[in-house]
Amino acid sequence: MKSFIRIRGIFAALIVMALLITCTGRQQDAGESSEPYTVAIQVVVLPGTNFEGKADREAAINAITVPAINVRVEIQETWINQVVNTTAMSVASNEKIDLIHVATVQRLSSLVGSDILLDMNENNILQTYGKDLIRMFGGLMDTGYVNGRQLAIPALNYTAASYGVYLNKDMADQYGIRVPEKTDMDGLEAMLLAFRRANTNVVPYSYGTAEMNFLQFVRGYDGFGREASYGAILDSTRELKVENIYASALFRDFVIRMFSWRQNGLIPGDTTDATPNQTYFAARQLFANPASLSPQANTAVSAQSDFNVAFVELTERKVTGNLLTEYMWGIATTSRNPRKVMEFLNLMYTNGDVANILMYGLNGVNYNFAPGSNRVVVRNGTYNPVFFRGGNPDNMYILSPAGYDYVDQLKAYEASATVSPVAAYMFNDSAFQTEAAVIYATILEYLPRLQSGAAASERDILALLDQFNTQLRASGIDRVIAENQRQLDAWLRSR
């Protein structure tokens, strides 16, 4: 009997030990080893992109990070049209992934209810190893804080932007088209019609595959979920009411206008062409492209164009939840050493050299300094990770054609913007994962046809819109919006 008790006691102790190892496994798998931990970071690029020299860039970063924090880096260059599936599959299959691109087509709003993002408050990882991030971002950190969990942090500390278009200024000048700094939909339409009359060989304007809701690019609003699948606040300066934007008169007028644009040859009818608009624009096959506009974004477009580019604002400069969550970073729940990942993330924002390599590559290989400068860089076209956002512009290089006043421009632009009263709010969709998937699938089914004016008549396009909203209601969008409104009201009361 004593033997049995002793064996049972040993067995129980082993179980307790196993549980302790399981609970702290992420820290101990690679945590306290003297060997450097390898942080795998997603660097999202355009489809079809395969940059040479990745090993050299990794080695240059490792030369900084190994002595500083005992970390190596694995750069995972991922095409933007594959990043959602790649992330989900990597986490589900426990493949190597640490630092996740919570941005662009993979927004935080679509990941809250999943098991992909680690709570950075776990074991006080953020508070202990991300102190510089907390100081830098301050209240902006709230945008990644959902239901008691810090699921992501902002990637940009200058977040203000407007929506509008950038266009080929050389072509506009050639055809005598006046380009204002600001306009509205009527003004944009007038420019596109003038271009179409002057040149029938170049596409005036394009929404590409039209899977994004481009109404936002001409009429700013606060949207929730992927393509406002959880509703939107149409004008946060008037009423904080969440509604189905696809059932609004605003969207109805938009799709009617898109139908007329297609009839007039202002937009292409083919939404199956997955070639990015940026590629057509750079090749002078597209006159104007919808975009979010800011000093950062405008400089990037100008730098990769071998012609003059003009930027036209269609919305006011604002700081909104959409913009704050457009670029963020998260840590994978399957990361074996979140502490080291957070240390690297913190270093990326305090060490300009690490961020410069990820953003610009290597001096003399991927860029050169502008004549007489040791800070303004000129890319040579061999490396341009279009969707990477990381580091603090205050201590990084400056991309030509911007100059030494670039950071001052960022600060002035930020000061000129208004802040949405719901900028830091994030809907917790954990209880609506099934509805969310069906709603988004419905949007992807109808939105491309509606935005490309794919119908025989205006009557047909409105019938398609009615059918779309019928399917959205059947998918449960009204229930999701009602819960979103309830959470928003509670959030507002708590402020």
- What is the model's pLDDT at position 11? 36
Top pLDDT among 458 and 430 is at 458
Q: What percent of the chain has pLDDT over 90?
A: 79
Describe the strand order of the beta sheet including 37-45 as a list of residue ranges.
71-79, 37-45, 99-103, 327-331, 153-154
Q: Which residue has the higher pLDDT, 10 or 420?
A: 420
Residue 268 sits in the same domain as residue 337:
no
Nearest residue to 233 via CA among 465, 427, 446: 427
pLDDT score, position 34:
86
Please give the pLDDT value at position 272.
87
Burial class (CB in 10 A: 0-12, 13-18, 19+), 303: middle
Inside any domain, residue 380: no
Contact 44, 385 (CB under 8 A): yes
Q: What pLDDT, on a 0 to 100 scale, did the predictor assign at position 127?
A: 97
Q: Mean per-residue pLDDT for 78-93?
A: 95
Boundaries of domain holding 282: 162-323+423-494
Which of 19-33, 251-265, 481-495 has the weakest average pLDDT? Answer: 19-33
pLDDT of 367 > 90? The answer is yes
- pLDDT category of residue 5 using cuts at 50, 70 and 90: very low
| Residue 204 phi, psi dihedral angles, 5° rounding | -65, -40
The pLDDT of residue 25 is 42
pLDDT for residue 163 = 93
Is 119 among the domain residues?
Answer: yes
Contact between 257 and 185 (Cβ < 8 Å): yes
- Of the three residues 335, 359, 383, the one that is the final residue of a domain is 359
Domain co-membership, 256 together with 331 = no
Query: Both 167 and 208 in a single domain?
Result: yes
Spatial distance between the Cα atoms of 113 and 374, rounded to a whole number of angstroms: 45
97-127 pLDDT, tens digit per residue, is 999 999 988 989 888 888 999 999 999 999 9
pLDDT of residue 430: 85
Quote the DSSP letter at residue 50: -
Residue 79 in this model has a pLDDT that exceeds 60: yes
Give me the mean pLDDT over the 458-463 stretch: 97
What's the CA gap between 48 and 43, in Å, rounded? 14
Same domain, 153 and 175: no
Lowest model confidence (mean pLDDT) among 247-256, 321-330, 336-345 = 321-330
pTM of the model: 0.82
pLDDT for res 393: 95
Question: Is residue 4's pLDDT more than 60?
Answer: no
- Token pair, residue 170, equals 């050389």
Same domain, 238 and 290: yes
Residues 167 and 312 in one domain: yes
For residue 254, the tally of other CB atoms under 10 A from its CB is: 22
Is residue 471 one of the residues assigned to a domain? Answer: yes
- Say which residue, 272 or 58, is predicted with more confidence: 58
Q: 22 vs 453, which has greater pLDDT?
A: 453
Predicted local confidence at residue 495, as pLDDT: 82
Q: Do 219 and 329 have their domain in common?
A: no
pLDDT at 215 over 70: yes
pLDDT on residue 206? 95
Band (pLDDT 50/70/90 cuts) for residue 82 is very high
pLDDT in tens, 184-212: 999 999 999 999 999 999 999 999 998 88
Q: What is the pLDDT of residue 8?
A: 36
Q: What is the pLDDT of residue 16?
A: 34
Give the tokens for residue 45: 């690029």
Identify the residue with better confidence: 218 or 479: 479
pLDDT band (50, 70, 90) for residue 1: very low
- Over range 146-170, report the average pLDDT: 94
The answer to whether residue 470 is domain-embedded is yes
pLDDT band at 220 (very low <50, low <70, confident <90, very high): confident
Same structural domain for residues 102 and 136?
yes
Residue 125: which residues within 8 A CB-CB, separation 6 or more? Answer: 331, 338, 339, 342
Q: Both 442 and 303 in a single domain?
A: yes
Instruction: Give me 153's structure tokens.
Output: 């942090």
Domain end marker among 359, 374, 407: 359
Look at residue 363 and give its three-state secondary structure.
strand
Indicate left, alpha or beta for 194 from its phi (over 0: left) and psi (-120 to 50: alpha): alpha
Asked whether residue 153 falls in the same domain as residue 170, the answer is no
Establish if 448 belongs to a structural domain.
yes
Higher pLDDT, 414 or 28: 414
Q: Would 336 be classed as within a structural domain? A: yes
For residues 266 and 178, what is the distance between their CA atoms, to the nearest angstrom? 17
Task: For residue 33, name the pLDDT band (cuts at 50, 70, 90).
Answer: low
CATH code at position 484: 3.40.190.10
**Mean pLDDT of the region 351-360:** 97
Q: What is the mean pLDDT of the chain?
A: 91
Average pLDDT over residues 420-448: 92
Q: What is the mean pLDDT of residues 393-415?
A: 94
Write down which residue in 359, 380, 408 finishes a domain. 359
Residue 400: inside a domain: no
Do residue 293 and residue 433 come from a single domain? Answer: yes
Q: Which pLDDT does position 322 carry in this prediction? A: 83
Cα 492 to the center of its chain, rounded Å:
25
What is residue 71's three-state secondary structure? strand
Q: What is the mean pLDDT of residues 288-306?
A: 92
How many C-beta atoms lie closer than 10 Å to residue 434's C-beta? 10
Domain annotation covers residue 236: yes
CA dihedral for 105, 111, 115, 121, sign (positive or negative): positive
Q: Say if residue 281 is in the same domain as residue 310.
A: yes
| Residue of 40, 38, 37, 41 whose CA lies nearest to 388 | 41
Distance CA 430, CA 68 (A): 38
Count: domains in the chain: 2
